[in-house]
A and B are shown apart, each in its own frame.
Chain A
Amino acid sequence: MEQKKETDKQAEKVIEIKGLRKSFGNFHVLKGIDLDVYKRENLVVLGKSGTGKSVLIKIIVGLLTPDSGDVKVLGQHVDQITYKELLALRLKVGFSFQNSALYDSMTVRENLEFPLIRNQKNLTKGEVNLAVEEMLDAVGLLNTINQMPSELSGGQRKRIGIARTLILRPEIVLYDEPTAGLDPITCLDINNLINEVQTRFHTSSIVITHDLTCAKSVGNRVAMLLDGQFQRVGTFEEVFNTNDERVKPFYDYNFIQ
């Protein structure tokens, strides 16, 4: 019974990281981290700037290769598969960039069409239009369909970035600082959107942030990355119920100051 329970839990893992290390020159960013992400959970990775949070998700999606360690995404070892297999895996792993990374020479419609028409060639023009409109509607920005990214606000750009990520219907979404540089009200909107994405599209997510409001609002679990390793992993309360001097300032800054 105990063994079956363990097997079920194993089967639910969508990301498994073991002993991951990454350095840039003499700067050791990740010092052998272990992390599991389970199906349909939002895992928030917290940490100071420059602690390797973004490096972690870039390794997961194959934009960077680890120095050592094992990264398994949806059962595939990311650093051991061919480029073709990596492309196929990326269809299932969405990535929302910190600065949205919208293609600024294209309209919002073209931004969303871009990954769709290149990866689902059997779709008709009508089906593509429908998918784009449906996704823009989901993020509440259907009215911006013919606008250029330069005409959008920061919050709108984030939403469009998320819509572009979701249009391929990924199983996992990696959010890199989704609320960075946004006003508190727009942050709340983005947090709600992340939760809505999880419920509506049944995704598993890693949310990189140093915004504790975001962490509390969207995270089923929180992992605190400090000195190149995960120091605390658990629910929001579990992580911050501590006297650890490296963790406390985070909480104090966000909720007291």
Chain B
Amino acid sequence: MEKKTESQETLNDEVKTPGKLSRMFITLYDVFQFIGRFFKEGFLPPYEVKELFRQCYEIGYRSALLISTTGFITGIVFTKQSRPSLSEFGATSWLPSLVGIALLRTLAPLLTGLIAAGKVGSSIGAELGSMRVTEQIDAMEVSATNPFKFLVSTRVLAATITIPILTFYTAMVGMCGALLNVSLSENTSAKAFFQSSLEQITFLDFTASTIKAILFGFTIGVVGCYQGYNSSKGTEGVGKAANSAVVIAMFLIFIEEVVSVQFFSLFRT
């Protein structure tokens, strides 16, 4: 027979008192079930298209200013810090390529992922957490609506779609910052700068970045939603959900970064 409600699970979880290790495995099992439910329900009709677009707007548009500022400053600082080392070897002409590769391969996905984990992850965790403790999720359930589809599937999907877009936007803004720094120090035209930086970027770089960004977006969405959707213990639980959403998502993003760098380096040789 199919599972009925989440609130019941939460209550049952509270009354059991397993050890730390058992608790970890129970949580892992819960998370995999949660992800499984997303794939099972997220792509089946009825589709919550309006809510999906609203979430894409919330995640994308509202994070754009913070990401632009961070990306731009990173571009300037990275270029400025890299110049002395390169100029020792008389290789300052490699600066655009270095910045381009660094931004696209690692800085843009990682920066975007971390900022989004902080801004988007905490907001999702807090919003769903507060909906859980104020019984709004239960209210959706008893009105014969699937709250998982409306609240979780749309947010996870929106984060998975929007973070890659933001990643390339961050890379572009970062390149603009780098261009500003290069233009102030050397007589390099924008055309020459972009030509030089883009010619070293391969299709693999582009693909790897996209896959990483999708993974980061999915992680932020799932962690935020899982923490918020399963929160309990009143307002304390809401704060805990928001905090855990950020900490766990950031931790997982770093792990995914390390693993993906190792994985994609296999293809570079």
Given the known inter-chain contacts A64-B7, A99-B134, please indicate yes or no for A168 contacting B143, CB distance below 8 A.
Answer: yes
Q: Are B143 and A90 in contact (CB under 8 A)?
A: yes
In the assembled complex, B2 has its CB within 8 A of some CB on chain A: yes
Size category, B interface: 20 to 34
Chain A residues contacting B46 (CB-CB under 8 Å) are 118, 121
Q: Which of B8-16, B84-92, B197-205 contacts A (4 or more CB under 8 A)?
A: B8-16
Interface bits A115-158 vs B (CB < 8 Å: 1, else 0) = 10011010000000000000000000000000000000000000
CB of B126 to closest CB in A, whole Å: 12
CB of A171 to closest CB in B, whole Å: 13
Instruction: Give Cα A104–Cα B127 distance, bound, in whole angstroms.
Output: 10
CB of B215 to closest CB in A, whole Å: 28
A and B contact pairs by CB, cutoff 8 A, 26 listed: A24-B15, A25-B14, A25-B16, A63-B141, A64-B5, A64-B7, A64-B8, A64-B11, A87-B146, A90-B144, A95-B139, A97-B139, A101-B139, A103-B136, A103-B139, A103-B140, A104-B134, A104-B136, A114-B140, A114-B143, A114-B145, A115-B144, A118-B46, A118-B145, A121-B46, A164-B143
Nearest residue in A to B8 (C-beta to C-beta)? A64
Instruction: Give Cα A202–Cα B229 distance, bound, in whole angstroms.
Output: 36
In the assembled complex, B256 has its CB within 8 A of some CB on chain A: no
In the assembled complex, A93 has its CB within 8 A of some CB on chain B: yes
Nearest residue in A to B16 (C-beta to C-beta)? A25
CB of B206 to closest CB in A, whole Å: 37
In the assembled complex, A224 has its CB within 8 A of some CB on chain B: no
Taking Cβ atoms with an 8 Å cutoff, the residues of A that contact B are 24-25, 58, 61-65, 80, 82-84, 86-88, 90-91, 93-95, 97-99, 101-105, 114-115, 118-119, 121, 164-165, 168
Instruction: Give Cα A115–Cα B145 distance, bound, in whole angstroms.
Output: 7
Q: Are B135 and A61 in contact (CB under 8 A)?
A: no
B145's contact among A24, A84, A119, by CB below 8 Å, is which? A119
Instruction: Give Cα A95–Cα B144 distance, bound, in whole angstroms.
Output: 11
Chain A residues contacting B140 (CB-CB under 8 Å) are 103, 114
Q: Are A95 and B142 in contact (CB under 8 A)?
A: yes
Nearest residue in A to B137 (C-beta to C-beta)? A101
Chain B residues contacting A86 (CB-CB under 8 Å) are 4
CB of B266 to closest CB in A, whole Å: 43
Chain B residues contacting A80 (CB-CB under 8 Å) are 1
CB of A102 to closest CB in B, whole Å: 8
Given the known inter-chain contacts A25-B15, A64-B5, A64-B7, please indicate yes or no for A88 contacting B144, CB distance below 8 A.
Answer: yes
Q: Are B138 and A101 in contact (CB under 8 A)?
A: yes
Instruction: Give Cα A49–Cα B127 distance, bound, in whole angstroms.
Output: 28
Chain B residues contacting A62 (CB-CB under 8 Å) are 4-5
CB of B70 to closest CB in A, whole Å: 27
Chain B residues contacting A104 (CB-CB under 8 Å) are 134, 136
